[in-house]
Structure 1
């Protein structure tokens, strides 16, 4: 596999991971739905991410 193809693959994977992470923080971190909020509550606080 050419080096350029591997680099594009790594870049795509990195961008997808960052997008997924931002989605999780944005949706779960600021969700007003109690089930979603409580599911990730302890993890957010252990990572010092305020949620209320």
Structure 2
């Protein structure tokens, strides 16, 4: 019996670790996306701003 107990505990630990890793990756991706959108949207460089603007329009995302 103790062997199966250890196996299920290890499985639960791996599931929690995988879940927290996935959550961290999702939050990191959202932060990176917001950083890119913010940099392109508020950029003083017209080329970068227009590239972000055209990308938003090509994805049917309203921006103004």
What is the TM-score when the length of structure 1 is the normalising length?
0.75
Contact 1:29–1:44 at 8 Å: present in 2 too?
no
**More displaced stretch, 37-46 vs 8-17:** 37-46
What is the TM-score when the length of structure 2 is the normalising length?
0.64
Does residue 24 (structure 1) correspond to residue 27 (structure 2)? The answer is no
Structure 1 regions of 5+ residues with no counterpart?
none
Structure 2 regions of 5+ residues with no counterpart?
1-10
Aligned partner of 2:61 in structure 1 is: 47
Tell which has more relative contact order, 1 or 2 (C-alpha 8 A, sep 6+): 1
Secondary structure at 1:40's aligned position in 2? helix
Which structure's residues are more often helix, by fraction? 2
Q: List 4+ stretches of structure 1 deviating above 4 A.
A: none
Greater C-alpha Rg: 2
